[in-house]
Every structure is written in C-alpha cells, then in structure tokens.
Amino acid sequence: MGSSRVPRIAITPMLSLSFFLIIIWLASSPVQAAPVVDVGGAEVELTDFQVGYFTGDARLLDYEAVREQTFEASGNIAPVGTGLQATWYRIALHNSGTDEKQLYLHLPQAYQIRSIEVFEERADKLIGQTHVDLNDASNHPLMHLGTVIYPFSVPVGETTVFYVYSQLYSHHYFAAEVFDLKHSREAVSRGGLDIAVLAGMLLALVFYNCLLFLASRKQENILYSLYLVSGLIWISLSYGLISRVFNAYGDSVFILNLSGFTILIFLLLFMMAIFETRRFYPTEHRFLQGMLAVIVAGFCYGLIDLIAMLEVISSLVALTMVVTSLVSVSLLLKGNPLIKFFLIGHLFFVLFNGLAMMYYKGIAEPNYFNSHGVVLGIVLEALMLAFIISYRIRVLEKIRSQQAELKRQAATDPLTAVFNRRYFMVEGEQMARQAASKGEPTSVIAVDIDNFKTVNDTYGHQAGDRVLIEVAEIFRKISRDQDLISRFGGEEFMILLPGTDKSEAQDYAERIRGSVEQHVTAAGNGVSVRVTVSAGIAEMIAASESLEKALSRADNALYEAKAAGRNQVRCAP
C-alpha cells in the first residue's frame, strides 16, 4: 500500500508540468486569426469580410517567413495608423460551390502605397505572385485607375490564400475587395464618383472667387481660393482622383501631401483677413500668427522629410482646430457679426476632421463618414466660408449704398432734388475745365421765378414749394444727361451746359421759359398757380474765366431780363 502511493505522488507534479508545457506550446504556435471566406455563391461581391494582418517585423520578413507568423483579425478595410513601414495581410477564400470561380482581388487603396506584393498559394504551394512599384505603376498591367486588380481562380472544394505585402509612406490605409467579372467592372466604373462631384464643387468655388477677386481686389477672395485649391489637391490625392484622372503614382505624386499644410496656412490667413484681426483684435491675431508660424515651419520641414511630418500632421490639425475654435469663440463674445457663420462651418470642419484623424490613426472603425471625414469637413466649411464672403459683400454693398446716399443727400437740395450750390461750384468748375481741354464751349444760365414772393404770400408756402418742385422737374425734362442743374437758393437756379455756346444756350433757355409759362401747378384745394421765369445767359471765356465770374455775368444778364419786364431771356456781352 505504501509503495503504491509513491508513484501517485511523483506522477502528479509531472502531469501538471506536462499540462503547463502543452499550454505554452499551444499559445506559442502560429494561429491564422482571419477566417476563411466562402466564395461559392452564384455571384461574388465581397466588400465586407475578415482578413488577417501582421505588423511586427513585417519589413524584415519574406513570404516564407511571414507564413509562420500569427495574424490578427481585421476588417477588409482597415487603417492601421502611423509609424509603420510595412504590413502583411492574409486573405483566405474557399470555394464551396459546384463550379470553379474566376475572380478578381481588388486593392483600391493601392495608389496611396509605395509598393505592393501579392503572393497567391493553394494547398500550401505558391502558384502566383506579382509586384507593383508605385513609382513605375502607370503602365503596369494590373494597375487600373489607382486600383491593383489581381485575377485568380478557386477550384471547387479548394482554398486560395493571398499574402499581401504593403510597403507604406506614412499613414497606412488598406482595402481589399473580391469580385466576379461583372462586379469587378462595376466597381472600377463607379469608383470615385462622389469625390469627383465634391471636387467639382470646390473647383466651381475656386473660379467664382477668382472672378470676385478680379472684380473687388479683396485679399480674402484670393486667400479663400488658395484654401480651396489646397483642399482640392489634398482631396484629389487622398481619395484617388489624381490617380484616376492622370494615372500618376509614387513619390512624384506623394509630395502633393504638402497641401495638407497649405490648407491650414490659408485657413488661418483667411481668418486674419476676413475678420481684420490685425486691426480690431490684436490678441486673437497673435494667437493666429503663432499657430501660422508652427504650420509654416512644418511645411518647410516637410520639404526635407515629408514622411516624418505626415506622422504628426494630424496632431497639427488638432492643435489648429483648437486654436481657431478658441479665437472664434473670443470674436463671438466681442460681437463680430460674421464669426457666428464661421463657427457653424468650422464646427463641421472640426467634427468631420476629428473623425478622420481617429480613422487615420486606427482608432475609429472604418465607415463612410470616418474615411471621408476630411473631404466632408473641407467641403462643408468651404460652403460656409463662401456664404461668409457673399454676406460680407452684401454688407459692404449696403454700406457703400448708404454712403452714396449720404453723399447724394449732401450734394442735393432736399426740396427739389436738384444739386445744391456747393456741389454745383465744385463739379461745375471741373466740367468747365474738361470742356475747355477739349476745345468745347461751356455756357451757364441763371434762372429766377418771377414774383415768387407773391405766390408765397397769396397761396402759402406749401403752394410755393410745389411750384419750386415742378419748375425744377421742367428743367430736368428739357436738359441733357451731361447738364448740371442746381438750386442756388430761394427761387434762383443755375444750369451749366458743357459743349454748348451762347446761341444754343439761348435756345435752351427759351424752351425753359416757354414750358414754365404754359405749365399750371395744382397747389391743392382747387387752387391752380401759374408762374413765369426770367433767365440770363453767359458763355464762359475758356482761357481766362472762372465759373464764378461766368455766373456773375449770367446773374447780371438775369437782372437785365427782370428790368425789361420779366418772363424774358437776356445774354451777357
């Protein structure tokens, strides 16, 4: 009995140790986490399935070595984040159908990657492979509008496994889709349509604001256009529009990522210009200047090492959004009338770019709003900035209109709406000099309503005012556009006629005299008033006479007409 207990005691720790070693062995054994995807259906259109990825020492491993590694499960559309130089992906496809499948592996984000290698195996044997260097991809047979399309087949009851090696620039995007021939053609033809529409909207805004700049020469218009151009370049690059339109890839196109910095630069400059921060908000202006200096420094360093700067650009974007938001809130509290509209647009920019930054860093799950966050944020903010520019133009036009009205009021007689004496003397002198420079004559007419005091005394001042208004209207109807009519005071008017000699002026004055004589003014309460006018004419001596002297001579001729019995026209010698 005693001897039988000894083996039992000895075996128990041995079994425990053996079990522990088995657990360690199982944990250390390579496990392919990505499940096998079935492609045995009648039609194949796989746009949402599981793959495996490996990021450890991916750059140092070849195909044979990476097959022994443990792959983590991921979706077929997966941003892995920054700081990676290479990634391996594993895709397993099994045909459970009754017919061999002729399929196409699509890698639609290929245009963003430095190089791609695809290894195809079946039954643990390599049966096909390809390498696409993006610096030499324009004529590669598998590159179609920015998408690598790899044709393959899966026999009945068998499994095809792909190992895809992706060498990166900075931010890493991966997308894989599997189609049959019909759906492959559809995917290629429809890809990028939404981005093309949004880019077209930005391009239209660029042309519109360039025209505004040519018309107004406002700094904010050209800064807004440059902001739009930067956004257009970045969107076209990041979402494959450049690759689809120009069939361009690799390092020469990668440099266009600098537009990510210029978007921020021109946004900050636009804020300074549209809100006039230098003039009205010096504290906020210094904050914007400081942020601008940081972004410009990043841009300059990006010219040397763009990959390093792209790894931190998302942080710069986040910092810029914080600074611009704080400045906007400060301007709102200080009562800036435009900032509320900017805040609405900037809220879209901050929201969608925040989603995009999390997506690029591999934090947020991939979906349309996350993956398209930057383009949506830029477009929505661009539309609101366009509204701000239009609103500001309307405000400025209203101010100009008010200023023009004030000038008009300052230059015109409030009762008769013809020009007043001060305006007549300044403008008339200039018009006379212009006519003299052309060798043209200029005449002036002094007109006075006869016995106007009697009208006021007999019918009242309201009737007298009515007479003045209608007499001035007669002057306007008879005069030309270039003639200058002025009420000098009381019932006396002065008319300047550029390009008119004394004889023509006399005919003009006679038409006035006759029209007034025939006119009847309805003064109210059934009262009708008739008046006459007397006029004196003087042709200016262009070489030596001032307007004031010519008016004095015309006034003397007017007195002669009055002395001769009124309702007459006289010419000065």
Label residue 192 left, alpha or beta by phi (over 0 means left) and psi (-120 to 50 means alpha): left
Q: What distance in Å separates the CA atoms of residue 327 and residue 270, rounded to the nearest whole number?
A: 13
CA 178 to chain centre: 38
Residues in contact with 537: Cβ distance below 8 Å, sequence separation at least 6, in sequence order: 443, 444, 445, 446, 502, 505, 506, 509, 554, 557, 569, 570, 571, 572
Could you tell me where the beta strands, DSSP code E, fall in 172-320?
A: 177-179
- What count of other Cβ atoms lies within 10 Å of the Cβ of residue 270? 23
With beta carbons less than 8 A apart as the criterion, state whether 75 and 33 touch. Answer: no
Provide the 8-state DSSP code for 156.
T
Q: What H or E segment, with its residue span, contains residue 449?
A: strand 442-449
Catalytic-role residue among 491, 504, 517, 560? 491
Joined tokens for residue 122: 């079946």
Question: Rounded CA gap, 350 and 381, in Å?
Answer: 9
**Closest CA relative to residue 271, chosen from 357, 343, 378, 347:** 343
Cα gap 54→70, rounded to integer Å:
7
Separation of alpha carbons 269 and 274, rounded Å: 9
Residue 429 among the catalytic residues: no
Neighbours of 317 (CB within 10 A): 24
CA distance 337 to 329: 12
**Beta-bridge partner residues of 126:** 121
Q: How many CB atoms lie within 10 A of CB 7?
A: 9
Lookup: tokens for 53: 């990825």
Length of the chain in residues, anyone?
A: 573
CB proximity list for 341: less than 8 A, separation 6 or greater: 384, 387, 388, 391
- Rounded Cα gap, residues 388 and 369, in angstroms: 25
- 327, HSE (Cβ side, Cα atoms, 13 Å): 28
Cite the active site residues: 491
